[in-house]
Chain A
Amino acid sequence: MSDAKQILYRVRRYDPARDGAPRWQDFTIPRTPGMTVLDGLWTIKQTLDATLAWRASCRMGVCGSCGMLVNGRPRLACNTQVSELGADVVALAPLPNFDIIRDLVPDLAPAFDAHQALMPFIVREDVQERENPTGEFGQSAEELEHYLQFSYCIKCGCCMAACPTYATDPSYSGPMPLAQAHRYNADTRDEGFRNRKETLAGERGPWRCHFAGECSRVCPKGVDPAKAIQLMKRELVLDYLRLRRAHASAPVAPKPKDGKRRPDVPDAPARTV
């Protein structure tokens, strides 16, 4: 990597309403210490081309909006410093495996549809407690460990862009929705395994995964979706063989008896729904 004061951004541009095919456009911008890929995009937009489109929000690797292909690898633009790329050119393209809305903006709707179909939330059979909760569901630290790392997923879509199976098989749900389905199946507060199984046991389930492991390699949050998918396969196989041991549903934790509310802590606001 050179110590040049400037850096070349090579950005793939595409406007479906106007362009017949995507094209590359070069921008040369000042290089500053600690500069992230996202910083460079803002510089381009503010000084060179205001029409350049991408998604971003939090700028700190939390929201998952700025996933894009940076020098051939899916990354978060805000979480990637130009210096760590070790190159004099920053090549940016939208995440593969998705339609392009414009420039660096992919259409993530199919991924979120698959995500939604797998019920990524706590499902409880005791409707009364669910609708009118009387307390928190108890969960030990050991039980938390079973799904904690999968709960770090920010739904940026990098794993979906890296998955070779998702690239070729539109019926495959992909690593993000499947890892999240496992995250809830492994949660002792959840009772939704049977409901999710309706989707998971069919062709949208984990069966097409070849364990290439690219999803885990590119995840900017260190989540291991490939592991979640293998664990899910094991659960489903054991379920078919009637050998699966379902976790006991977490009960409502008893409220502390001797606790005293601090006077400076205000009451919770009234329920709005």
Chain B
Amino acid sequence: MRDQKLWTWHVLAGLVILVFLGLHMTVMHLDKIFEAETLNPSDGKPIDWANVVARGKTLFFPATYVVLLAAALFHGLYGLRGILLELGPAAGIQRAISVLFVLVGAGLFVFGTWAAIMSHGLAKAL
């Protein structure tokens, strides 16, 4: 069951990345084509401070950062774990790799989520 479950989530995380990375590309690089004011309400480039603050004030963008972070961490670390396990390490090392990746993934997720929440609070205060 374990590998069936993990692989399914791996695929689902890939789909989430596809959607949210598409959104990122739309916001950051296709601003001339999609002149949507909700994405870049201030004039100028998407990376301009005013636009970054404006997006940070909404709940939508920090939420997408967290979802994309979770998906990218799981997808990437699970894939890397698979590559390492195929090198044929001993059972103990395999367990150690799995535990290490869970800890690293959880740590990065907590840190990234904290950063997203803080940026939202900071943007609202401005």
Contact = CB atoms under 8 A, between A and B. Distances in A.
A207 interface: yes
Given A237-B7, A237-B11, A240-B8, A169 B1 contact: no
Interface of B: 1-8, 11, 82, 85-88
Contact of B88 (A169, A200, A203): A169
Contacts of A197: 4
A207 B4 CA distance: 8
Contacts of B6: 207
Q: Which among B2, B3, B6, B88 has the highest number of chain A CB atoms within 10 Å?
A: B3
Interface string A51-92: 000000000000000000000000000000000000000000
A208 B3 CA distance: 10
7 contacts: A168-B88, A201-B4, A201-B5, A202-B4, A203-B3, A205-B3, A236-B7
A237 B2 CA distance: 12
Given A169-B85, A169-B86, A208-B82, A241 B8 contact: yes
Contact of A165 (B4, B5, B86): B86
Contacts of A239: 4
Contacts of A165: 86
Contacts of B3: 201-203, 205, 207
A240 B82 contact: no
Size band of the interface chain A makes with B: 10 to 19
A193 to B, nearest CB: 12
A233 interface: yes
Nearest to B91: A171
Contact of A201 (B1, B85, B87, B88): B1
A202 B6 CA distance: 10
A202 B1 contact: yes
Contacts of B85: 169
A213 to B, nearest CB: 17
A236 B1 CA distance: 10
Contact of B4 (A169, A205, A208): A205
A170 interface: yes
Contacts of B87: 168
Interface in A200-244: 200-203, 205, 207-208, 233, 236-237, 239-241
